[in-house]
Structure 1
C-alpha cells in the first residue's frame, strides 16, 4: 500500500469512526498497533504498565477523535500520545515504588520449570537486566521497541523515538555491542549468545 492509499484509507477510517463504525476501530488498531505497542514498551518498565498506557492511548483517541483534522497525522498523534502516557505512568510508578526491575523480572516467571533451571534463568535475567540498565536511556528505548515490535519499520520506530530513520540501524548495532560487552564483563558468557550484534 502506498502512502497516498494509506492516507486516503485513514481519512475514510476517520469518517467511519465519526459515525461509530466498530469495524473502522478494528482496522485503525490493526494498522497502528505495532508502532503504538512499540512506543509504550519503549517507555514502560514492564508489560502491565505498557498495557495500561496502550489502553489509555486508544481511549484518548476515542475522546479526541473530533479534534483530529489531518488523517496523515493519526499515526504520529498515536505515537506521541503513547509516549506521553507511558512517561506519565512511569513517573507515577517511580513515586510509588523505588525498584524498577522488579516488574521486569516478574514477567519472566514460568511455573513449569525445575527449580534449578528457574534459578539459572533468574540469575541470567538479573545479569541481563543489570547490563541493560547500564545502557544509555536512548539505547534502552530503542532495544525495547525493537524487541516488542519486531515488525515495525525503521520509519515507525523513528517516529516513535524521534530519531532519523537512517540512524536506527547503526544505533541498534552500537547498543547491542554495548550490551554484549557489559554482559561479558559481568561474567555471563552463556547469556551473551542470545545478544546478536
Structure 2
C-alpha cells in the first residue's frame, strides 16, 4: 500500500478511483484484498474458482462504483459480492461435475515419485474429500478459510463468513471433530497400508 493511501479514508479512495486513479485502486485492493480472498476461498471448492470469483468481485465493484452510497460499508459490500460470485460459480461447477470434488482432487500434487505412496495418498485424499463433503456447508466454508488463510484473524474470518467472532474457535473445534469422525468411518491410513502389503 502506498504511503499516501495509508492515510486516506475509504470515501476519498473511492472518489479517486472513480476519477481513474490507478494508485487509489491498488490501495483499495490492498486494504480489502484479505477479506475478499477469505470470502471467495470459503465459498469456492478450488483455488481456480476462488480466483475467478475474486476477479468477478473486483469487476463488479468497478462496474457499480457509482452506486455505492456508504463508503464505510464497502467491506461488507465486497464480502457479500464475493459470496454471491462464489456461490454462482459453485452452482455452475456443480452442473458441470455432479460429484463436486473433481476440482479439489485435481489440485493435489504428489511429487515423491513413489507410485505406492502416490496411490496411498490418492486414496486418502479421496477419503478426505468424501468426509469433507459430508460436513455442513458452514463447516466446509470455515475450514476452507482457515486452511487457505491460516494467518487470517478471527475478525477477518468473522467478516468473511458472517459469523460471530466468539463462535469461530468453538465452531472450528466441532467441525474438525466431525471431520475426524467421518474420516474414521471411512477407514484409516493403517487400513490402507495393510491392504497395500
Partner deviation per Cα, 1:139-188 (whole Å, 9 max, x = no partner): 01111111122222222222222211111111011111111222233222
Report 1:63-102 matches (<5 A).
63-102=63-102
Once the two structures are TM-superposed, the CA of residue 40 in structure 1 deviates from its matched residue by: 1.0
Aligned length: 185
Partner deviation per Cα, 1:21-76 (whole Å, 9 max, x = no partner): 11122221122222211111111121221111111000000111111122211111
Match of 1:124 in 2: 124
Are residue 135 (structure 1) and residue 135 (structure 2) matched?
yes
CA spacing shift, 1:7–1:101, aligned 2, 3 Å: farther
What CA distance in whole angstroms lies between the structure 1 residues aligned with 2:126 and 2:63?
40
What CA distance in whole angstroms lies between the structure 2 residues aligned with 1:187 and 1:13?
53
Structure 2: gaps spanning 5 or more residues: 1-5, 191-197
Match of 2:53 in 1: 53
What CA distance in whole angstroms lies between the structure 1 residues aligned with 2:149 and 2:59?
21
Q: Which moved more, 1:146-155 or 1:80-89?
A: 146-155
So what's the TM-score if we normalise by structure 1? 0.86
Are residue 19 (structure 1) and residue 19 (structure 2) matched?
yes
So what's the TM-score if we normalise by structure 2? 0.86
What CA distance in whole angstroms lies between the structure 1 residues aligned with 2:68 and 2:90?
27
Once the two structures are TM-superposed, the CA of residue 112 in structure 1 deviates from its matched residue by: 5.7
Q: Which moved more, 1:41-50 or 1:83-92?
A: 41-50
Once the two structures are TM-superposed, the CA of residue 189 in structure 1 deviates from its matched residue by: 5.2
What CA distance in whole angstroms lies between the structure 2 residues aligned with 1:159 and 1:38?
9
Asked if 1 retains the 8 angstrom alpha-carbon contact of 2:124 and 2:189, the reply is no
Match of 2:163 in 1: 163
What CA distance in whole angstroms lies between the structure 1 residues aligned with 2:51 and 2:40?
8
Asked if 2 retains the 8 angstrom alpha-carbon contact of 1:127 and 1:188, the reply is no
CA spacing shift, 1:187–1:7, aligned 2, 3 Å: farther
Asked if 1 retains the 8 angstrom alpha-carbon contact of 2:112 and 2:118, the reply is no
Once the two structures are TM-superposed, the CA of residue 113 in structure 1 deviates from its matched residue by: 3.1
| SS of residue paired to 1:146 | helix
Once the two structures are TM-superposed, the CA of residue 8 in structure 1 deviates from its matched residue by: 5.5
RMSD: 1.9
Match of 2:149 in 1: 149
What CA distance in whole angstroms lies between the structure 1 residues aligned with 2:145 and 2:65?
26
| SS of residue paired to 1:36 | helix
